[in-house]
């Protein structure tokens, strides 16, 4: 049997992903901290800012996938790395002038969502070109690099009080812009006649049609459930929980949020080394265990116990994300892969804004602990419905 191996350029994709998600990890700590602890805003307004990061992606992600299938994705991704540094720089410049506001953070979040709409499909398109014969393990490797860098970014942001918010935000901007240099080491667009005509709706929508006709359509609601029920618990309720239940600040927010990527690193690293054969069964099992750990986070236990529950949630999330992305990647035709992976991500980002608003509203009405339990129970109900009405268990 032929030896299985990665393309030699695969490490450059890992380096670029680390740059992007290292900066994203910093943002995950810095923005909620600025909203909750500096501006002293409510859970609802925290949800509004988190929603803004995902809002543009709902409308632009399919277009971003179609564009990535047409152009030289490495050049597009390099440009987006540079553009991604604009939002943190704008926030950094506002703070010394006393101009930091909820409106500015909302606008910066919208711009970040705009950039993400084009960056993520481009990265997925490039992944398939450097995976060699190891697509599932390549997906796991990218997720491992992503969450390792994200965790490091969170730990750097943990020192925002000592560094000063402007300096921490400037570091975030530099980290993400650095990734542009790695993009140029990746393969260009495959040879073929250039396409200069404008994008048509049928071309943009072809990824949706493929998913609807393929068995992976059963996976799509589970990914949507992550945005609707899990994302709000993590990004909205956890920072409020740290402030209102545990009387903590940026240090505690960073520690709690870091526990999730720490668990994900272990899980995706395992898949990278060993692989997963029964991906559908792993997907359902991991998502159910994740819902149980989210419920555990809302039980009002000691802060250290909540950190452990969040770490376990990250372990489950690592298996879910790796197997879910691999199921889509393996079934997608090469010429449409960016569009199809955009549909995969659209499940998360389209449900993210209502999920953030739902978490914020529940947090204000019930308190962050009871709201977290409610979201975990809702995810369990969704998982049971999908498991009973589809063949996800049998997907490999």
Beta-carbon count within 10 A of 333 CB = 10
Return d(Cα 91, Cα 104) in angstroms, integer: 7
Query: What confidence category does residue 64 fall into, taking pLDDT thresholds of 50, 70 and 90?
Result: confident
Q: Which structural domain, as residue segments, surrounds residue 16?
A: 10-186+202-394
Q: What is the pLDDT of residue 266?
A: 86
CATH assignment of the domain containing 157? 1.20.1250.20
On whether residue 180 sits in a domain, the answer given is: yes
Could you give the C-alpha distances from 362 to 100, 208, 377, 379, in angstroms and in order?
Answer: 27, 32, 13, 15
For residue range 278-318, list pLDDT tens digits in order: 888 888 999 999 999 999 999 989 999 999 999 999 999 88
Burial of 5 (0-12, 13-18, 19+ CB in 10 A): exposed
The pLDDT of residue 204: 59
Mean pLDDT value across residues 239-249: 87
Position 38 pLDDT exceeds 50: yes
What is the C-alpha end-to-end distance of the chain, expressed in Å? 21
The lowest-confidence range among 4-13, 93-102, 131-140, 304-313 is 131-140
Per-residue pLDDT, 133: 64
Total number of domains in the chain: 1
Binned at pLDDT 50, 70 and 90, residue 275 comes out as low
Proportion of the chain above pLDDT 90, given as a percent:
27
User: How does pLDDT run across 153-211, given as a tens digit for each residue?
Assistant: 988 888 887 888 899 999 999 999 999 999 888 877 655 544 555 555 555 567 778 87
Whether 268 maps to a domain, the answer reads: yes
Residue 174 covered by a domain: yes
Token pair of 169, please? 């935000």
Q: Is residue 221 part of a domain?
A: yes
pLDDT band at 2 (very low <50, low <70, confident <90, very high): very low
pLDDT tens by residue, 320-361: 888 888 888 777 776 777 777 778 777 887 887 788 889 888
pTM for this predicted structure? 0.71
Is residue 90 assigned to a domain?
yes
Residue 197 lies in a domain: no
**CA 381, 50, 364, 350 torsion: positive or negative?**
negative
b/e code 15-25 from CB counts within 10 Å (16+ = b): bbbbbbbbbbb
Q: Is residue 193 part of a domain?
A: no
Q: What pLDDT is recorded for position 253?
A: 83
The pLDDT of residue 93 is above 70? yes
In a domain, 179, yes or no: yes
């Amino acid at each position: 049997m032929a030896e299985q191996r990665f393309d030699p350029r695969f490490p450059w994709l890992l380096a670029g992903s680390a740059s992007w998600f290292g900066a994203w990890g910093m943002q995950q700590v810095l923005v909620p901290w600025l909203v909750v602890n500096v501006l002293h805003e409510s859970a609802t307004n925290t949800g509004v800012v988190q929603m803004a990061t995902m809002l543009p992606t709902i409308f632009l992600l399919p277009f971003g996938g179609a564009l990535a299938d047409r152009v030289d994705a490495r050049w597009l991704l390099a440009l987006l790395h540079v553009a991604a540094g604009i939002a943190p720089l704008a926030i950094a410049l506002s703070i010394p002038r006393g101009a930091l506001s909820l409106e500015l953070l909302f606008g910066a979040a919208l711009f970040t969502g705009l950039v993400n709409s084009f960056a993520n499909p481009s990265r997925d398109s490039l992944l398939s070109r450097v995976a060699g014969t190891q697509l599932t393990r390549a997906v796991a490797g990218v997720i491992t690099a992503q969450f390792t860098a994200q965790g490091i970014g969170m730990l750097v942001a943990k020192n925002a009080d000592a560094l000063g918010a402007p300096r921490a935000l400037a570091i975030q901007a530099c980290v993400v812009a650095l990734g542009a240099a790695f993009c140029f080491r990746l393969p260009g667009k495959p040879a073929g006649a250039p396409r200069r005509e404008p994008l048509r709706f049928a071309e943009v929508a072809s990824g949706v049609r493929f998913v609807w006709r393929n068995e992976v359509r059963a996976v799509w609601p589970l990914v949507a459930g992550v945005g609707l029920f899990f994302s709000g618990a993590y990004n909205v309720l956890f920072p409020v929980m740290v402030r209102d239940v545990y009387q903590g600040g940026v240090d505690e927010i960073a520690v709690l949020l870091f526990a999730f990527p720490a668990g994900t690193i272990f899980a995706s690293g395992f898949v990278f080394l060993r692989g997963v054969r029964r991906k559908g069964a792993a997907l359902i099992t991991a998502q159910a265990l994740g819902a149980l750990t989210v419920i555990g986070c809302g039980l009002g236990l000691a802060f250290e116990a909540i950190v452990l529950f969040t770490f376990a949630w990250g372990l489950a999330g690592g298996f879910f994300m790796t197997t879910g992305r691999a199921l889509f990647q393996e079934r997608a035709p090469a010429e449409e892969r960016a569009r199809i992976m955009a549909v995969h991500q659209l499940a998360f980002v389209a449900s993210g804004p209502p999920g953030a608003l739902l978490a914020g509203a529940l947090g204000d009405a019930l308190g962050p602990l009871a709201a977290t339990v409610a979201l975990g129970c809702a995810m369990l109900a969704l998982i049971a419905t999908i498991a009973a009405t589809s063949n996800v268990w049998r997907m490999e």
